[in-house]
Structure 1
Amino acid sequence: MIKAMSVPRLLATAITVVALSSPAASAAEPAPPQFADGFGLVVTSQPKWVDETRRTFVFSVSTNQVPTPTLLEGQEPGRHAIVVTLPDDYDRTAARYPVQYYLHGHPDRPDALWNQRVVEKATSGVPLITVQPNGSGRGWYSNWVNPGAAGPQNWETFHLEQVIPFVDANLRTIASKTGRAIVGHSMGGFGALHYAEHRPDLFSYVGSFSGGLDLRNSEVRAAVVATEVNPGSGSPTVGVDAIFGPPIWPFDGVWNAQSPAQHVGSLRGMGVALYTGNGGDLTVNPAQAVLENRARETALATAANLTAAGIPFHFSDYGDGSGWAPGCTGKHADEACVQADMNHFVGLITRPDA
């Protein structure tokens, strides 16, 4: 494991607002908050608790920025699920809370049970709101350059210019850079750094769990193209140039311009954390092992560029996972590994001594 020089923990300062807030009366069985339309979003289903613990709820919205997302099984046309996990005491105080945005990977979805488990375990007893927006099976957290018949696929605009102010307007958040972090797994790790680099005014901390961070890497390009043409990534499929344009020189300017690994300069002053394994035993679950091994190469490239720029960062490079967490095997979609990543990241953004 490599840990660089300390970085500012701005969310930890924001947390103190919670301690200074006065308590409010709460119902025995609180209802989830109700949301009002705004910022280009129309609420298509109001929040509902996902289970009896009443910490996590799901609701859906429609948006003109991504009116017709490609769909995974069980998703509804034009409706974007957003999952929110509240602090344990949200209904018992008048406090405002910092928020972390957690971006899911491919071909995942925000309302997958494993994402709920990871978030709830990591944030139990922590005064922190977590928001998981829909990123589609192949959204890649980007404004697509050639969506064609799919219609507008402006995922970056949807999330940064609509979802964030919408959440701030409907929940008791600390609606500033000091009260906001972003992190993601796999495709979501790419999205987290991509968003933080484009809008450093929005986030005080950014993290990547096994993200595909280097769009100049030919293997990452092949992975993105595979998501575009693979029916398992969503229906209908799209062209190989839909998201970032043609993936080959000399037509690959968008790929190069949107690659997080090479554009770290705007992260200066922000907390940065990278997490990756090496795939572990490549003969066991080889597909997930290779994915993680390749993701690690993009994390190393990002780390090298952060170091060259003199930007402090944390890097958990945990190999086969045996020393990182019980049950972690260093593979790409290993829940035990991602849980340990999230536990550590939540500590970084909320505890000054983490």
Structure 2
Amino acid sequence: MTRRITLAAFGMVFALVSVLGLTGAAPGAQASVAPPVFTDGHGLTVVKQPWWVDANERTFKFVVRTDEVPRYSAMTGQVSGEHVIMVTLPEGYESAAETRYPVQYHLHGHPDYPDTALNQQMFEGSTAGGVPLITVAPNGSGRGWYTNWVNPPAELGPQNWQNFHLDQVIPFVDANLRTVATREGRAISGHSMGGFGAFHYAESRPELFGYVGSFSGGLDLLNQVQRAAVVGTTQLPGSGTPTVPPDAIFGVPVWPFDTVWNAKSPAQHVGPLRDMGVAMYTGNGGNLADNLPQAVAERVARDTNLVTRDNLVAAGIPHTFVDYGDGSTWADGCNGKHAQPACLMADMRHFVGLLMAGLSHP
């Protein structure tokens, strides 16, 4: 009995000391806060609950499965059929229990992952200092191309990436986080392949988004170099295993069988972007002698952006077009190349500024 009383008394004293801040913790230190717990729904099954990426407790990841993409061409470190989604919360999210925030969905490029260190830096850096914005980066696989595939291989099953993202991920996030669940509180953006996806999604479902942004996106599928690049991604082992037939994603890429390619090319179908915020960012590749592949890739992307810009102008649709050339005046360390971190971080900072001026937020 004496021992029980002593332990109980010790527990009370320890609790009191903790409340008074006398446990020796560093001044200003905060207790760890668990990330949100997600509930299955909207066709998604949570196979791994959210966990913080680091001790800053702003960015977490979780893993889901979906029948819309039951398996996919997996890259190194991926489990086919398991979809990692990364989320960055605004500072103070956990202490503002009644506050709802706008959401930016950001789509990664090829061949890349949603949960890269660069993406985390972009999301956290662009919203530092209390910017009230949630950012969500869903898996698009190395070659998903953000569309429902025309001829998915039988060994993979359906590759309905558009259904997965628009019909499942968006309402799932709205159900599990405190979001502004209207088009006025929602944006879509992406880099390279993801820039294509952002414009394609915004044009396909304009009722979902108040703003769209492309960072060096490949926006013109009528551009034969861009079309060849897409076909090339189907054959590269580095884009995921197994590789897939050239007609798997958009169908046969040559006339007169290329109707899906033409129908899903964002550059030629800008009409639905009317009454939506629109932004495009591109460089010119800079010095061709410095990293020729990335320089050429950016020049091709720029060509597709110029076609898109011209069609936006012809349609009388307001937009922001940032052509930063060799990058020397855009950001320190930006050299106008494709997938250049300094350029992308500057793109994101500028785009988030547009979102805060154009979306509903606290």
- 1:179 corresponds, among 170, 178, 185, to 185
Aligned mates of 1:122, 1:282 — CA distance in 2: 30
Q: Deviations over 1:136-189 (max 9, x none)?
A: 000000000000222100000000000000000000000000000010000000
- 1:58 corresponds, among 58, 61, 76, to 61
- 2:80 corresponds, among 70, 77, 80, to 77
The corresponding residue for 1:119 is 123
Please tell me the residue identity of whatever aligns with 2:120: Q
- 1:96 corresponds, among 81, 95, 100, to 100
Q: Deviations over 1:280-314 (max 9, x none)?
A: 00110000000001100000000000000000000
The corresponding residue for 1:7 is none
Q: Deviations over 1:98-118 (max 9, x none)?
A: 000000000010111111111
- 2:143 corresponds, among 128, 138, 143, to 138
Aligned mates of 2:74, 2:88 — CA distance in 1: 24
The corresponding residue for 1:233 is 239
CA RMSD of aligned residues (A): 1.0
Aligned mates of 2:321, 2:36 — CA distance in 1: 37
The corresponding residue for 1:106 is 110
Q: Which runs of 5+ in 1 are unaligned?
A: 1-26
SS for the counterpart of 1:114 is helix
The corresponding residue for 1:29 is 32
Distance apart, 1:77 and its partner CA: 2.1
Query: Contact 2:277–2:358 at 8 Å: present in 1 too?
Result: no
- 1:212 corresponds, among 191, 213, 218, to 218
Please tell me the residue identity of whatever aligns with 2:148: N
Query: Highest relative contact order (Cα 8 Å, sep 6+), 1 or 2?
Result: 1
Aligned mates of 2:113, 2:47 — CA distance in 1: 18
Mapping of residues 182-193 of structure 1, within 5 Å? 182-193=188-199
Distance apart, 1:352 and its partner CA: 6.0
- CA distance 1:341–1:63, shift in 2 (3 Å): same
Aligned mates of 2:239, 2:79 — CA distance in 1: 15
Mapping of residues 1-354 of structure 1, within 5 Å? 28-94=31-97, 95-124=99-128, 125-149=130-154, 150-351=156-357
SS for the counterpart of 1:135 is coil
Aligned mates of 2:257, 2:147 — CA distance in 1: 18
Please tell me the residue identity of whatever aligns with 1:278: N
Aligned mates of 2:166, 2:240 — CA distance in 1: 23
Aligned mates of 1:351, 1:256 — CA distance in 2: 34
Aligned mates of 1:290, 1:120 — CA distance in 2: 30
Aligned mates of 1:166, 1:260 — CA distance in 2: 26
Please tell me the residue identity of whatever aligns with 1:41: L
Distance apart, 1:28 and its partner CA: 2.4
SS for the counterpart of 2:207 is coil
Aligned mates of 2:357, 2:275 — CA distance in 1: 18
Aligned mates of 2:82, 2:358 — CA distance in 1: 39
Please tell me the residue identity of whatever aligns with 2:231: V
Please tell me the residue identity of whatever aligns with 2:78: Q
SS for the counterpart of 2:171 is helix
Question: TM-score, normalized by length of structure 2?
Answer: 0.89
- CA distance 1:329–1:100, shift in 2 (3 Å): same
Q: Which runs of 5+ in 2 are unaligned?
A: 1-29
Aligned mates of 2:126, 2:134 — CA distance in 1: 11
Please tell me the residue identity of whatever aligns with 1:176: T
Count of residue correspondences: 327
Question: TM-score, normalized by length of structure 1?
Answer: 0.91
Aligned mates of 2:314, 2:134 — CA distance in 1: 34
Q: Which has the larger radius of gyration?
A: 2
Please tell me the residue identity of whatever aligns with 2:147: S
* Paired-residue identity, %: 66
Please tell me the residue identity of whatever aligns with 2:312: L
